[in-house]
Every structure is written in structure tokens, then in C-alpha cells.
Amino acid sequence: MKIVFAGTPEPAVPSLRALAGSSHQVVSVLTRPDAPLGRKRVLTPSPVKRAALELGIPVLEADRLRGDVLTTLEELAPDLIAVVAYGALAGPRALAIAPWLNLHFSLLPDYRGAAPVQHALIDGRETTGVTVFRLDSGMDTGPILHQRATPIGPDETAGQLLTRLAAEGAGDLLRTVDLLASGGLEEQPQPVTGSHAPKLGSADARLDFGDPAAEVYNRYRGVTPAPGAWTLLAGGEPEPQRRAKLIELMPAPSGSPEVPAGSLLVHDGRVLAGAADGALELRLIAPPGKRAMTAADFLRGRPGARFETQTGDPA
């Protein structure tokens, strides 16, 4: 099959490489334009663009599917457009060019939207999966061609789980394309109702140690590495001067002592952070305006430090 691949971030790269190394022909790659990154705002090509150039595949760049890019796609006349996290909606003219097959990192209709992996972890799910479906005019509502479930590791973060699903899902996408080319697939319509997984912002990444320990840990996993977990140190300073980034957090070992919500305690060489019904082990923290350090080093420099809870400072 003659394929156009549409994708932008790193999780899309394994699928591009799988298709490029198959018996199918990837005639072009569609990705979003170079974006300014870092403090110096240097224009940087997307991971998919870098991979496409390495593979010698022509690249189209567009942040919206309209105008000249659609004319170019129509001239290419692909048999299929394969999509993994491209980042723009396809309208009627785009959908008329060829079937668009999307690899999505959830078991649809659960978690339609931009952040399915993150929301599944925040919700404490123990199972997720991948879905290959045909795009329609809705938000991840098109008919399903393939699904595969997988357990979530108890300590997997969003970054780790997304990397794994991207690597495994590349094979699912390629097998689906192979079956589609041979005429061996049937579409299954999705239920109308489903859950949604909108993009997460900084406010979603705040950990409240007044919540149960499992909820705090699940949110930490869901927002790591991005947007990045944080909490507020208790005190009278303005909020920006109290925002601490929580780099590494783990469940406390069994038998750990009780710790009041928001309090920090050193026990057996570990720093325990109290939650509503237990404690978590804090390993790495970046205090306001400083680089990451061990929690023990942080407490040596700031003895008596505590985390603010939404219901007020811990007693």
C-alpha cells in the first residue's frame, strides 16, 4: 500500500519506522512545523520529522489540515494515511483523500482525547491498551479495526507506559495495515458514550497530600514526566516561592510509621511524606528555584519543612 504517515512526537516514531521497514511504501510524512523549545526558544524539528529525514522520506509540515497541504495530499493519492499523535483534526476534505487509520493509546471508547495514558494512571486503572481505528469527524469516535489490552505496571509512570505502548503499538498498527491490505478486516462501530482524556496542564499536576496515599501516587505517576508533579511547601511566602517539584515518589515500605498529612519524616534512612491515610517515600525533590536533590539533603537544609494541603497547613 502507498501510505502517508502523520505524526509529531516521539511516541509516533516507532510506528513510522515499522511502516518504513515493511513491504508498504511510505511516500510522505506529515508532521507539525518546527517549534521553539527551551529557554532560548530554538526552532526544533519534531521527532517524527527527524526520523523521516533519517529514513529519506519527504516531509510535509502543517499545523492545520487545510489549503496547500490538502492539495499535496490529494496529488500523492495515497491508499492510506496512518496517524499516530499528529495533533490536528481532519475535516471532510482531508477524510475524503483516503482512509485515515489512527493508533490510539487506550481501549476506546475509554479515554478519547490527547492524554489517555495520563488519565488512566490518575484514575488508578490496572489495565489499558491500544486501539487502531478509522478516523471520522468526531474526537476518536471512528470504527475500531483492532484492539489489544495490556496490564499497567504498579509503578509505571506516564512516560514509561507511553514509551512501552508506542513500541508495542507499532506492531499492532503494522499488522492492522497488512490485514487491511489483504481485505481481512472488519470494522466494529464504537459505542456513542465514552470517557474523555483532555490535555493536562500545570494545575492538574499539583499533588495534595491531604488526599489518600494511593490517589497522590496515581496522580504523580500520571503527570510524570510531564507536566511534572509539584506541591506547595507550607509557609507564608507567595506561592511561586513555595512550589516544589517532586521528581521521584514511591509507595512507602510496608510497616512504615504513620505520618500526619503533609508532614515529612525521616525513618530508616528514608524520607516519608504523610498523606490522608498513610505515607509515600519521597526520594528526589527540586525545591523552589533549585535543582533536584535527594529528599534527605533537602530536609537537612530545611528541617521541619512540610507540604501544604488543600484543607490548610498540616497540624
The pLDDT score that the predictor gives to residue 218 is: 98
Q: Is residue 107 within 8 Å of residue 149, measured between CB atoms?
A: yes
Mean per-residue pLDDT, 102-117: 98
**More confident: 132 or 235:** 132
The pLDDT score that the predictor gives to residue 40 is: 81
Please state the separation of Cα 66 from the chain's center in Å: 27
Q: Is residue 152 within 8 Å of residue 144, measured between CB atoms?
A: no
Mean per-residue pLDDT, 232-253: 92
Indicate the average pLDDT of the chain: 95
- In the chain, the percentage of residues whose pLDDT exceeds 70 is 98
Q: Residue 314 above 60 pLDDT?
A: no
The pLDDT score that the predictor gives to residue 297 is: 96
Q: Residue 261 above 80 pLDDT?
A: yes
Query: Would residue 111 be called left, alpha or beta, if left means φ above 0 and alpha means ψ between -120 and 50 degrees?
Result: left
The pLDDT score that the predictor gives to residue 241 is: 86
CB neighbour list of residue 249: distance below 8 Å, 6 or more residues apart = 207, 216, 217, 220, 229, 273, 280, 281, 282, 283
Q: Is residue 94 within 8 Å of residue 70, measured between CB atoms?
A: yes
Q: Is residue 113 within 8 Å of residue 139, measured between CB atoms?
A: yes
pTM of the model: 0.94
The pLDDT score that the predictor gives to residue 311 is: 59
**Cα–Cα distance measured from residue 31 to residue 8, given in angstroms and rounded to the nearest whole number:** 5
The pLDDT score that the predictor gives to residue 116 is: 98
The pLDDT score that the predictor gives to residue 238 is: 83
